[in-house]
Amino acid sequence: MKVRHLILPLLLTLLLVVLPSAGRHPLAGLALTGYSIQSVRPSSFRSLAGAATVKVKNTGKQRSLRNVSAVLYRGGQKVASGRCSDLVFPAGASETGVTGQVQLADGVSLLTAVQAALSFTPSEYTADVVCSIVDADGRAETFVRRGIPLGNYIK
């Protein structure tokens, strides 16, 4: 798999792993059902920008994710951080566009990042995800999840 094809799916997984499946959680009823990569391009020497189409099933009312960001760690060391555009999920099934950017952490060389991507093992990585969840009535709630093991979401 080419490195550029690995980076954006990883970002999308990090940014959309906040779609849980249980309980009275603010995102309960949202399920990521698929995505397709539209583009990936360098935005600087140490970062990539990309765009994708995301398919989501929403069994509840319309909700939005705003100010979505994630930090990726390998063995407890910060490797990269990412952000994506705000997302709106209307009730029912929908397809929406999302753009994002991933930047290497300070102290991580481009060569190290390429080597890590080529030998990527999800169980070596964790992530922190932060976003604001806005319900159909405009009420916002901050969502923070730290130490998400990527091995649980990526095989």
pLDDT tens by residue, 43-77 = 888 888 888 888 888 888 888 889 989 899 999 99
Identify the residue whose tokens are 């080597």.
115
Domain range 3-152, CATH architecture = Sandwich (2.60)
- pLDDT at site 5: 46
Query: Residue 4 — φ and ψ, nearest 5°?
Result: -65, -25
Q: Residues 111-122, buried b or exposed e (16+ Cβ, 10 A)?
A: eebeebbeebee
Domain layout of the chain by residue ranges: 3-152
pLDDT tens by residue, 80-96 = 999 989 988 888 878 88
pLDDT tens by residue, 11-38 = 555 555 544 433 456 667 777 788 788 8
